[in-house]
Amino acid sequence: MKKIKAAIIGFGIGQKHFEAIHNFKNSQVQIICEKNLTKLIALKKKFPNIKITDNEKDIFLNKDINLVSIASYDDDHYHQVLQSIKYKKNIIVEKPMCLTEKQLKHIKKLILNSKLRITSNLVLRVNSLFMKIKKKIDNDKIFYIEADYIWGRKEKLFGWRSKIKNYSLILGAGIHVIDLVMWLLKKRPISVFAFANDIATTKSIFKKKSMALIVLEFPGNIIAKITANGAAIHQHFHELKIFTKTKTITNSPNGSFTFTKNNSKINKYDYPDKANRKKLIQNFLGSIIDHKKKHIISHKDQFDLMSVCFAAEKSIKINKKIKIRYF
C-alpha cells in the first residue's frame, strides 16, 4: 500500500487519532463522521477540505478509504469493526474492541481470515517511562506486580457511560494496566479472581460498578494485583510497583523510583508522556504501508488481552476464581 486514506468516526478522542494520522507521511484523513450536530457544524468550518458527515455509510461505501479509525462510544465499536472488515478497511479501534466474548470470537475469525490489520489504542506501551522500566526488568526474576488505573475523572461516568447498556470499567479503563502488566511480564495469566463495587457512585445515574480489583496468577506463580478505580478523587494516574529478587521499581504521584538493597534513585523519565502516544498509531500506519514491519501490538496480544478482561468480568459475576479461557 502506497498511501493511507483514512476516515475517523467520532471526534472526541478521535481528535488524537486525527493528529497522529494527519502528521504521518503518506497518510491523509479524507472523511470525519460525527453525529453531534454542534461538533459537525464546527468541523465543517475547521476542515473545509475534508468531507464531514453524520452518516457512517459515507465511509464504508467509499472505495478509496483503506483505514477506519473508530473513536465512537463503546457499544458502537463492534458494528463499526464488522462494517470495516466487510468493506476491506484496516482498523484502529479505541478500547474496547467489543463488549462480549461472542463478539470477540467473531472479530477474531474474520480478521484472521482476511489480510486486514486491526489495533486498539493501548498507549501505555509507548510511554517512555514504562518502556525504560521494561528494559530494566527484562532479565529480572519478578514475583509480584501492582498496577492501578486511577481514572480521576468521576464526572465522566455520568455522561454517555451511564447511558449505554454494557459499559464496563474493566474494558474501558482497567484494560490499559492489564495490558501493561502482560506486556511487562511477556506472559499471559492463567487465572483471575476479581471483585467490584459501586459504593462511590451509589444513588447516582451511573448504575454500573465504579471500582474493580483484579488478581491475576501468571505462570511461575507470579501474582499481579490490578485496580480500575473510576470514582477516585485523584489526578489521572497509572500507578505501578514491580517487585523482583534484586530491586523494586515504582511509579507514583511522588515520582518514579528504583530501590535496590543498598540505595534508591529517582527514575527521571517523562510521565505521562502524552506527546509520545501518537507513536502507537503511527507505528500501526507504518505496518500497513509496509507489511514486513511488525506493529507494537500483535493481533494475538489484543485478543488475549480481551480474553483476560472478559474472564475478570465473569469472575465478578460468579464471585469465584476462574481459569482464563483464551479465544
| CB within 8 Å of 166: residues ≥ 6 apart | 74, 75, 99, 100
Q: Is residue 287 domain-resident?
A: no
Chain centroid offset of residue 86 CA: 23
Domain stop point among 120, 148, 168: 120
CA 242 to chain centre: 21
Looking at the structure, tell me whether residues 141 and 40 fall in a common domain. no
**Regions of the chain with pLDDT less than 50:** none
Cell of 250: 515504582
Q: What is the pLDDT of residue 264?
A: 79
Burial class (CB in 10 A: 0-12, 13-18, 19+), 112: exposed
Given 87, 120, 153, the domain boundary residue is: 120
Give per-residue pLDDT as tens, 22-74: 999 999 999 999 999 999 999 999 999 999 999 999 999 999 999 999 999 99
Task: Please report whether residue 175 resides in a domain.
Answer: yes
Q: Let me know whether 257 and 158 are in one domain.
A: yes
297 falls within a domain? no
In a domain, 281, yes or no: no
Residues 212 and 226 in one domain: yes
Cell numbers 488505573 correspond to: 149
Judge whether 51 and 306 are in contact, CB under 8 Å. no
* Residue 206 to residue 158: CA distance in whole angstroms: 6
Note whether 77 and 175 are same-domain residues: no
pTM above 0.75, yes or no: yes
Domain count, the chain: 2
Q: For residue 262, what is the domain's CATH number?
A: 3.30.360.10
Structure confidence at residue 132 (pLDDT): 92
Q: Which of 64, 98, 120 is the last residue of a domain?
A: 120
Do 141 and 179 belong together in one domain? yes
Quick one: 103 and 179 in the same domain?
A: no
Kindly state whether residues 74 and 131 are assigned to the same domain. no
pLDDT of residue 270: 67
Q: Cβ(146)–Cβ(225) under 8 Å?
A: yes
Contact 235, 253 (CB under 8 A): yes
Do 243 and 194 share a structural domain? yes
Q: What CATH number is given to the structural domain containing 108?
A: 3.40.50.720
Amino acid 269: pLDDT? 66
Burial 149-173 (b: 16+ CB within 10 A, else e): bbbeebeebeeebeeeeebbbbbbb
Let me know whether 227 and 190 are in one domain. yes
Instruction: Check if the beta carbon of residue 90 is closer than 8 Å to that of residue 66.
Output: yes
Domain that holds residue 141: 124-273+306-323
Residues 197 and 314 in one domain: yes
